[in-house]
């Protein structure tokens, strides 16, 4: 058995590979580009490209691709081989600096939300040297940003990089004002915990709903669900363990720090968490992780479901975005620390996050909004659609004491006077746990828990970074303009607590009473669905902030709003069509056949014993026939409302119609179908049941 350290990162052109393959001066100049964003000299780029090509070919690669993240939410690649014709009729392998730095894929088929008409098909991809290139299969993949010819971002990486820069810029301003003169940059780090389901390929293939939509659209409750709570952290089954082992190896070869694996709450549900890294890299790695999970599952006769709600009545899958910010010399700014000066810094950054989350609740909600995630948020299993922050009793107590200028009556009795007195030492293990909060402080980081399992983490981090950057900018402006620095700092902290404490909630987020309190008493936003929240992306306050931080321009925001709503609409319409089809051509014929056989059995019995009542057969035939009629009626109605969606031009109105009319009709059709499943003999039912799917992998 090879040791992990021997093959970790072997498919990545990382710093070790760069050092080994590049002349020393070229390595240094590339490193400067990576660390400081300096422009890469074209001659240097040619040397780098050539070394990359030799390294990749040495590892069996035949093609290269610019690897990018268009707004579809998955990654895209167009492979070009390294070959170029040689004069003698053979080929040579070529790869130039120009090809490394810039690509021009035909961009017309990627969603642009009106940013780029199809006749202006040119878009270009630009190398992101801060994320290492890697080999996947036989292809050398170069992480890139994807822009329109006019320079508008058509992807998720570009705004993410812009938001990281904005955050760094504003955080450095604050730190410098607080006397830190060694800080050069600040970066946000993320550790995303990824949930997923594993089912057998054989069963997956038998279900059109899973194949076309990633979730089951029908399915009666299984005889055993998750009521026993016996799956969470349970013993991992051998077949699942084999999958996890291979997945880990593949991820390690790509330099992805896969760390934790365990069973989740629902049967067949599992989780994988990597060690955290810089947001940009964590995002690339999470996209790769999701892709490789599916590939490795296929090799094991399994399918990995990344949908947020594959099974009704069973916990769905999310992604916890553990987020923190730290300086280039490694100090975590969200770590309470134990010296007063650090505490003051911590309190200021903490207040910036609290204010940012309160002021931009809507943007955070928008950043996780998809048709799939709408099934989770607010369904008593995932955080609600209302955003609030969990701080734990200790921190909340400290903030209250600061706000009221009172002594803190916590673990230690300490007079709270900022900047002068000693703040209590925070013991991070005493911060209690709360699983129901959408945004929880967990010792030295915030855990944003509303992301859906299939979401790119880019969106949430773009909004989080931008909102915190903007808040820090407000703080920095005030501090710069103040006559008395300590007093201004004190006032900023107190004022932030006073104005934004409504967002802090340490109780049970799953309770209906909390939603009532949040909305009615505290005035927090409750956008339950994608059509509810998405249009607010274009609210002036949001557009202004994102433009101020240079993360998006107005055209980019409009395009995103339209694309996200269009995604929602298309997703639900595909589901509705799939449902109608399954009901008509799978379920009804199966139930019909069962009825016919029951009727035939009754007739046969009566031909032998004419006095038999055949109550069972007659009862079943009568009940099932009534269900068949109802199913056909509901299917007809669903088809009608699907057709009506085409008549609504406006994308917002179409999404509202889909939410208010199409989705409820789908629920109505599901009822008689699921009932028929519980009455139809097993051998007649056309699909694997919930019980089969959830308990099928051993
Ligand atoms: P859990 O919430 O399941 O107990 P852990 O504490 O193990 O999770 O951490 C979950 C994730 O948070 C991991 O990906 C881990 O690397 C990441 N993480 C830990 N510390 C930080 C940090 N300072 N910043 C960002 N992510 C972090
Ligand atoms: Mg966690």
pLDDT score of 431 more than 80: no
Q: How confident is the model at residue 492 (pLDDT cuts 50, 70, 90)?
A: very high
**What is the CA 424 to chain-centroid distance, rounded?**
36
Candidates 189, 276, 349: which one to mutate for ligand 1, based on the most atoms within 8 Å of Cβ?
276
**What local confidence, expressed as pLDDT, does residue 117 receive?**
54
Q: How far apart (Å, rounded) are the C-alpha atoms in residues 71 and 679?
A: 44
How many CA within 13 A on the CB side of residue 150?
A: 12
For ligand 1, is residue 444 a contact (CB within 6 Å)?
Answer: yes
Task: Evaluate: CB of 445 within 6 angstroms of ligand 1.
Answer: yes
Is residue 651 within 8 Å of 573, Cβ to Cβ? no
Ligand 1 atom at shortest distance from the alpha carbon of 274:
14
Atom of ligand 1 nearest to the CA of 273: 14
d(CA 629, CA 617): 18
pLDDT in tens, 626-676: 999 999 999 999 999 999 999 999 999 999 999 999 999 999 999 999 999
Q: How far is the CA of 290 from the centre of ligand 2 (A)?
A: 18
- The sign of the torsion formed by the CA atoms of 462, 464, 466, 469 equals negative
Distance 275 CA to ligand 1 centre (A): 7
Q: What is the pTM (predicted TM-score) of this model?
A: 0.94
Question: 276 in ligand 1 pocket by Cβ < 6 Å?
Answer: yes
The angle subtended at Cα 200 by Cα 199 and Cα 202, nearest 5°, is 140
- Best residue among 189, 258, 436, 445 to mutate for probing ligand 1's pocket (most ligand atoms within 8 Å of CB) is 445
Q: Tell the residue number behind the tokens 């026939």, with chain if given.
A: 625
Q: What is the pLDDT of residues 236-272, one digit of tens each?
A: 999 999 999 999 999 999 999 999 999 888 899 999 9
Kindly state the percentage of the chain with pLDDT values over 70. Answer: 94
What local confidence, expressed as pLDDT, does residue 608 receive? 97
Positive/negative CA dihedral, 13, 17, 23, 25: positive
Largest CA distance in the chain: 105
Give dist(CA 350, CA 371) in Å, integer: 32
CB atoms within 10 A of CB 173: 19
| Residue 449 beta carbon below 6 angstroms from any ligand 1 atom | no
Q: How many helices (H) and strands (E) does the chain have?
A: 25, 19
C-alpha of residue 139 to centroid of ligand 1, in Å = 32
Q: How does strand 139-148 pair with strand 123-127?
A: antiparallel
The contacts of residue 273 (CB under 8 Å, 6+ apart) are: 191, 192, 193, 194, 258, 259, 260, 261
517 pLDDT tier (thresholds 50, 70, 90): very high
Question: What Å distances lie between residue 488 and 329, 493, 594, CA to CA?
Answer: 27, 9, 78
Percent of the chain beyond pLDDT 90? Answer: 79
Q: What is the pLDDT of residues 182-222, one digit of tens each?
A: 999 999 999 999 999 999 999 999 999 999 999 999 999 98
> Which ligand is closest in space to the CA of residue 464?
1
Q: Given this model, what pLDDT does residue 407 score?
A: 72
**Which of 143, 146, 45, 58 lies closest to 96 in space, CA to CA?**
45
CA nearest to 525, candidates 631, 593, 450: 450
CA–centroid distance, residue 443 to ligand 1 (Å): 10
Please tell me whether residue 659 adopts helix, strand or coil conformation: helix
Q: What angle do CA 3, 6, 10 make, to 5 degrees?
A: 130
* Ligand 1 contacts CB of residue 457 (under 6 A): no
Measured CA to CA, the distance from residue 525 to residue 603 in angstroms comes to 62
Listed in sequence order, the residues at least 6 apart from 213 whose beta carbon sits closer than 8 Å to its beta carbon are: 307, 571, 574, 575, 578
Give the closest residue (by CA) to ligand 1 atom 6.
442
pLDDT in tens, 215-231: 999 999 988 777 666 77
- Express each pLDDT in 604-634 by its tens digit: 999 999 999 999 999 999 999 999 999 999 9
Tell me, using a 6 A CB cutoff, whether residue 70 lines ligand 1.
Answer: no
pLDDT value for 573: 98
| Ligand (nearest to CA of 262) | 1
Q: Does the C-beta of 193 come closer than 6 Å to ligand 1? A: yes
Amino acid 397: pLDDT = 85
């Amino acid at each position: 058995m090879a040791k992990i350290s021997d093959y970790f990162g072997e498919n990545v052109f990382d710093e070790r590979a760069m050092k080994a393959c590049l002349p020393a001066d070229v390595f240094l100049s590339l490193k400067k580009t990576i660390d400081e964003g300096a422009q890469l000299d074209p001659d240097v780029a040619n040397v780098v490209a050539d070394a990359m090509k030799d390294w990749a070919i040495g590892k069996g690669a035949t093609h290269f691709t610019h690897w990018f993240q268009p707004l579809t939410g998955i990654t895209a690649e167009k492979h070009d081989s390294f070959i170029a014709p040689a004069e003698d009729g053979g080929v040579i392998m070529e790869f130039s600096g120009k090809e490394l730095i810039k690509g021009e894929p035909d961009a017309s088929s990627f969603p642009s939300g009106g940013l780029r008409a199809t006749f202006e098909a040119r878009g270009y991809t630009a190398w992101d040297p801060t994320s290492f290139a890697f080999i996947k299969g036989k292809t050398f993949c170069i992480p890139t940003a994807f822009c329109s010819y006019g320079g508008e971002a058509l992807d998720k990486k570009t705004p993410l990089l812009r938001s990281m820069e904005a955050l760094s810029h504003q955080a450095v301003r604050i730190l410098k004002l607080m006397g830190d003169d060694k800080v050069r940059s600040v970066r946000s780090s993320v550790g995303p915990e990824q949930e997923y389901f594993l089912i057998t390929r054989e069963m997956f293939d038998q279900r059109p709903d899973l194949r076309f939509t990633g979730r089951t659209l029908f399915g009666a409750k299984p005889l055993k669900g998750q009521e026993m709570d016996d799956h969470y952290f349970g013993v991992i089954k051998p077949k699942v363990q084999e999958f996890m082992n291979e997945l880990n190896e593949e991820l390690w070869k790509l330099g992805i720090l896969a760390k934790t694996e365990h069973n989740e709450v629902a049967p067949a549900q599992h989780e994988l968490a990597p060690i955290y890294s810089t947001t940009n890299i964590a995002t690339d790695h999470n996209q790769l992780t999701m892709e490789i999970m599916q590939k490795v599952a296929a090799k094991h006769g399994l399918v990995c479901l990344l949908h947020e709600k594959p099974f009704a009545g069973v916990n769905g899958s999310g992604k916890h975005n553990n987020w923190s910010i730290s300086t280039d010399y490694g100090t975590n700014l969200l770590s309470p620390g134990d010296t007063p000066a650090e505490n003051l810094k911590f309190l200021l950054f903490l207040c910036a996050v609290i204010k940012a989350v309160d002021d931009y609740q809507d943007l955070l909600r928008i950043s996780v909004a998809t048709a799939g995630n709408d099934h989770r948020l607010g369904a008593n299993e995932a955080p609600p659609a209302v955003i609030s922050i969990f701080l734990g009793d200790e921190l909340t107590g400290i903030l209250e004491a600061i706000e009221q200028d009172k002594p803190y009556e916590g673990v230690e009795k300490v007079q709270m006077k900022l900047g002068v007195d000693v703040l209590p030492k925070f013991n991070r293990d005493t911060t209690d746990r709360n699983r129901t909060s959408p945004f929880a402080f967990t010792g030295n980081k915030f855990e944003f828990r509303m992301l859906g399992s299939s979401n790119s983490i880019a969106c949430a981090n773009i909004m989080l970074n931008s909102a915190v950057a903007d808040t820090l900018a407000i703080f920095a402006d005030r501090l710069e303009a103040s006559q008395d620095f300590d007093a201004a700092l004190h006032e900023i902290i107190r004022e932030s607590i006073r104005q934004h404490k409504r967002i802090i909630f340490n109780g049970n987020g799953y309770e209906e009473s909390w939603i009532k309190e949040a909305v009615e008493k505290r005035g927090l936003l409750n956008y339950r669905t994608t059509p509810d929240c998405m249009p607010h992306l274009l609210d002036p306050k949001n557009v202004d902030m994102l433009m101020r931080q240079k993360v998006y321009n107005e055209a980019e925001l409009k395009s995103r709003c339209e694309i996200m709503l269009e995604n929602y609409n298309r997703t639900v319409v595909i589901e509705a069509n799939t449902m109608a089809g399954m009901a008509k051509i799978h379920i009804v014929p199966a139930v019909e056949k069962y009825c016919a056989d029951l009727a035939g059995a009754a007739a046969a019995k009566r031909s032998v014993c004419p006095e038999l009542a055949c109550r069972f057969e007659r009862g079943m035939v009568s009940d099932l026939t009534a269900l068949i009629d109802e199913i056909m009626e509901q299917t007809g109605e669903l088809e009608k409302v699907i057709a009506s969606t085409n008549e609504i031009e406006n994308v917002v109105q179409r999404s509202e119609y889909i939410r208010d009319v199409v989705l409820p009709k789908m629920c109505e059709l599901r009822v008689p179908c699921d009932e028929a499943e519980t009455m139809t003999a097993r051998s007649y039912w056309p699909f694997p049941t919930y019980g089969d799917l959830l308990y099928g992998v051993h």
